[in-house]
Chains A and B, each alone.
Chain A
Amino acid sequence: MNAPITLTTPSVQDPSPARPPAPATRPIIRFEAAAKAYPARRGHASVAALSDITLDVPEGAILGVIGRSGAGKSTLIRLVNGLEKPTAGRVTVDGVDMGALDEAALRAERRSIGMIFQHFNLLARRTAFDNVALPLEIAGLPAREIKARVEPLLELVGLSDKRDRYPAELSGGQKQRVGIARALATRPRVLLSDEATSALDPETTNQILALLRKVNAELNLTVLLITHEMAVIKAVADRVAVIDGGRIVEEGATYDVFAAPQHATTRSFLSALTGQSLPPELANRLTAEPAPGRDAVLRIVFTGSHATDPVLSRVSRLLSVDVNIIQAQVDEIAGAPFGVIVVSIPGDAATVAAVVGAVERLHLSAEVLGYV
């Protein structure tokens, strides 16, 4: 795919989405210039898995970290519960520096941080009930209290009827529900989700993500999730951080990042989702230079309260310009409407400037991708 040629800055004039992102509260998880390097071994230089990670997860928010495999997201999430320790900087949870704790203090702290996994990591020889009970047994709760806590959790995740089933008798989605119930058993303030839907089919993925939203809302649980799928971010995350090569290259409210991605990695993640990629036939013909007789290809991003405005017909009527729709997609991100439309218009400079100006006056962003 050709890199789009930006003539106008893709700034969003009105970034206020219909539903505000998580209320601005104090951050519960803080990465403060955290880095993780694996020491040099014979024949290998030391490897920097994460460099200079500074990131706040607001209390009650769902923050998604997206990156390709090897980008460092697994290491990043493991810094939060001390399964990995940073080699520089700090990671704090509710003010507690996780890297500075001794083993006993770390174990106590981990009980307030739940974690779910891509491959569920359920014990094969324990029933659903006993799997959920495990963290409570570890915490030393008496059997009666364990029973009193586990049953409502199984109810919450919709598995009351499967309490005596073994993991081998459950579907992938049901296993992850058990994993979620288990992660919630110790009543944590934070839930870490390590690619929790990557082994599930799309429909089951949506059910699990809906469950995460539900526990986020009902229990005011802060969720930090890592994924390689933009669809997961789109479905649940209030905020998104894009990680590439061990660094966070872009971070912000999900809606803003989707509406105006700044980094190439973000764009490439978004391309499949939001009409950011052009049909190949068109992309191949696209050139950077205007020429007589050529049409300009324009991408208009509909965001916020203007996402539903009849922009095209207005532009067409006001400027008497023929607008040809090449591609269009209307979507919902974090509960707010979001649309991308790619159009071609006559390619002379005056028309292009007039259309871009008109679109921007309507508080939307327009970007000239090239000429065909």
Chain B
Amino acid sequence: MFDLSFGLLPPAIVELIIEATRQTLYMVAVSGVLGTLLGLPLGVFLATSRKGELFAAPLANQMLGLVVNAARSTPFIILVVAIIPFTRLVAGTSIGTHAAIVPLTVAAAPFIARLIEAAIREVDQGLVEAARAMGASPLQIVAKVLLPEALPAITLALTLAAVSLLGYSAMVGAVGGGGLGDLGIRFGYQRFMPEVMAAVVIVLILLVQGVQTLGDLLARRLDKRSRS
């Protein structure tokens, strides 16, 4: 097999890094998708439920806001440990890569909800008024005005969330989640193998760069405001 480390690392370690990268990508992708599925409706609700807004429910808005803030202020490593019973309930086990998806999703959803809320609040209120004047229902306003107009901002928000999840995923080694962060701690730090640590960091940098570049490109494609 082609040696990706150009002979700097033993093949067994290269093998480990590839496996850890695969685990990291798997965790980030699945928790990113699940977190978006949960966070998107929450974000839409947060952005449209204050007093006088489309789905005005100020009390529910405040309650949800509190829950989201509480989840977001809990350090991720503590969240991982604190929700172990819940993780076991959902995943059947509390250790391993699959199980790690549960705390990652729980951390991502409120974060994504806030990002989506911010993206939707950026949409000009004049567009909402125009849609109301056309006779649009609140759901139509969300589907035809708010989400499409916020799409470039939402794309950037999800890119940011994916990058954050890459960082979070490094901590799930604490519950046997595996992945690049876990590898870096166990081999690079605990076994004094700085070259492994360096390799892990380089792979993470490349991943983050890749995700960010892709997100920026997509957002620019979607944004029709700055042409000509």
User: CB within 8 Å of B: which residues of A?
Assistant: 81, 83, 106-111, 113, 115, 117, 119, 121, 123-126, 134-135, 137-139, 166-169, 182, 186, 192
Contacts and interface: CB of A to CB of B under 8 A. Distances in A.
Contacts of B137: 107
B191 interface: no
Nearest to B224: A166
A124 B225 contact: yes
Nearest to B130: A121
A124 B224 contact: yes
15 contacts: A83-B132, A83-B133, A106-B135, A117-B129, A117-B130, A124-B225, A125-B149, A125-B152, A134-B131, A137-B144, A138-B135, A138-B144, A168-B226, A168-B227, A182-B134
Interface string B146-181: 001101100000000000000000000000000000
B133 A81 contact: yes
Given A123-B148, A125-B222, A115 B228 contact: no
B136 interface: yes
B141 to A, nearest CB: 9
A135 B145 contact: no
Contacts of A107: 135-137
Interface of B: 124, 126-127, 129-137, 140, 144-145, 148-149, 151-152, 222-228
A186 B129 contact: no
Contacts of A139: 135
Given A121-B129, A124-B149, A125-B151, A110 B134 contact: yes
Contacts of A134: 131, 134, 144
Nearest to A103: B137
Contacts of B133: 81, 83, 110, 113, 115, 192
A123 B148 CA distance: 9
Contact of B127 (A81, A113, A121, A192): A121
A168 B126 CA distance: 16
A127 to B, nearest CB: 8
A125 B134 contact: no
B180 to A, nearest CB: 37
A23 B143 CA distance: 43
A139 B151 CA distance: 23
B164 to A, nearest CB: 26
B114 to A, nearest CB: 23
Contact of B225 (A113, A115, A168, A186): A168
B129 A83 contact: yes
A166 B224 CA distance: 7
Contacts of A186: 134-135
Contacts of A119: 124, 126
A168 B228 contact: yes
Given A107-B137, A138-B136, A123 B126 contact: no
A113 B135 CA distance: 9
Nearest 5 pairs between A and B by C-beta?
A110-B135, A121-B130, A135-B134, A166-B224, A107-B135
Contacts of A110: 132-135
B102 to A, nearest CB: 35
B73 to A, nearest CB: 30
A81 B134 CA distance: 9
Contact of A115 (B127, B130, B144): B130
A123 B140 contact: no
Nearest to B141: A138
B167 to A, nearest CB: 31
Nearest to B136: A138
Given A110-B135, A138-B134, A125 B228 contact: no
A111 B227 contact: no
A125 B149 CA distance: 6
B58 to A, nearest CB: 15
